[in-house]
Amino acid sequence: MASISAKPFRLALLQLGSLTSSKASNIAVAKQAVLEAARSSPKPHLVVLPEIWNSPYAVTAFREYSERVPHVGSKYDEVDEGETVKAMREMARENDIWLIGGSIPQKDEKTDEIFNTCTVYDPSGTLVAIHQKVHLFDIDIPGRQTFKESDTLTGGKSLTTFDTPFGKIGLGICYDIRFPEMATIAARQGCVAMIYPAAFNTTTGPMHWSLLQRARAVDNQIYVAMCSPARHPEASYQAYGHSLVVNPLCNMADLGFPAILILPWYRGDILVEASHEPTTIYADIDIDLLNTTRRNLPITVQRRFDVYPDIAEKFL
């Protein structure tokens, strides 16, 4: 069995509300939400912010709000970095947490390109991972939802995982979840979870938000989480909200309880889901449950690479 060696951990997804066109005010909102999550009991080990939370989610805003992001390994007090990166380092350090900093528009000073970028910090404020959104959100559903990130953004060119004391985590950003290869490769690399800062909308959210996360979790036998901003009636883009954590299990009988006792809490593989209001949701990531699922349904060791190609091969 391809079991995973990791430790249980507690995850907090911050579905931020009150986001405006003021970057300073958005940073203050995020700081307060991180502080409150870190003070909750039990304290979460890993805290997640949503996609593009320091800027309006609009192609016309990304360049204006973009910032320099320093290199992986850079420490707290690096002088040459944007105000949002500096603030996120402080959030991680002052609260002694791991922080997945949602995403922000990043400017590459050398090429002048703008990326939709997720940065991750350890509890000392060191920048430990950078993921640039690989698949840009370019869709046109006439009369419902049109968005073209590629008008101002450039897509990233690599996949991202990072190690923590509780296990390896894979990263994607929002639309990246529609491309199952990313989660499959991360799972094969030993990740216990794929985490996606995200901002689906009120057209595609009801159709696919939960389905995509459950599919990635069940296919790859990992945990999956997406963290959205709260809905904002005045925003040009209506985020779906509904931040969500799912596990890879569909059969609650595996927990050892008769189904009748767990019926009131039975929600398939959905561990916790927010509404569209500002809130923070918490989930306990249980590695035994993940390994039990892998033992009972041993698909991780039944792949037939003699019949089809192994897409993860060059990453292993």
Question: Which residues contact ligand LYUYDEPV (rule: CB under 6 A)?
Answer: 51, 137, 174-175, 178, 199-201, 204, 208
User: Which CB, 6 or 118, lies closer to ligand LYUYDEPV?
Assistant: 118
Tokens 């990326």 correspond to 115
- b/e map of 191-224 (b: 16 or more CB within 10 Å)? bbbbbbbbbbbebbbeeebbebbbbbbbebbbbb
Q: How far is the CB of 13 from ligand LYUYDEPV (least distance, A)?
A: 16
Reply yes or no on whether 67 is catalytic.
no
Q: How far is the CB of 1 from ligand LYUYDEPV (least distance, A)?
A: 33
User: Which CB, 213 or 221, lies closer to ligand LYUYDEPV?
Assistant: 213
Measured CA to CA, the distance from residue 1 to residue 155 in angstroms comes to 36
Amino acid occupying residue 152: T
Of the candidates 81, 118, 174, 191, the residue annotated as catalytic is: 174
| Residue of closest CB approach to ligand LYUYDEPV | 204
Q: How far is the CB of 192 from ligand LYUYDEPV (least distance, A)?
A: 24
- b/e map of 255-294 (b: 16 or more CB within 10 Å)? eeeeeeeeeeeeeebbbbbbebebbbbbbebbbebbbbbb
Would you give the DSSP letter of residue 136? -
User: Which CB, 9 or 62, lies closer to ligand LYUYDEPV?
Assistant: 62
Supply angle C-alpha 175, 225, 156, rounded to 5.
Answer: 35
Reply yes or no on whether 51 is catalytic.
yes
Structure tokens at 240: 């779906």
Q: How far is the CB of 56 from ligand LYUYDEPV (least distance, A)?
A: 13
User: Which CB, 65 or 200, lies closer to ligand LYUYDEPV?
Assistant: 200
Of the candidates 23, 107, 133, 168, the residue annotated as catalytic is: 133
Reply yes or no on whether 174 is catalytic.
yes
Q: Do 117 and 158 touch, CB atoms closer than 8 A?
A: no
Q: How far is the CB of 173 from ligand LYUYDEPV (least distance, A)?
A: 7
Catalytic residues: 51, 133, 174
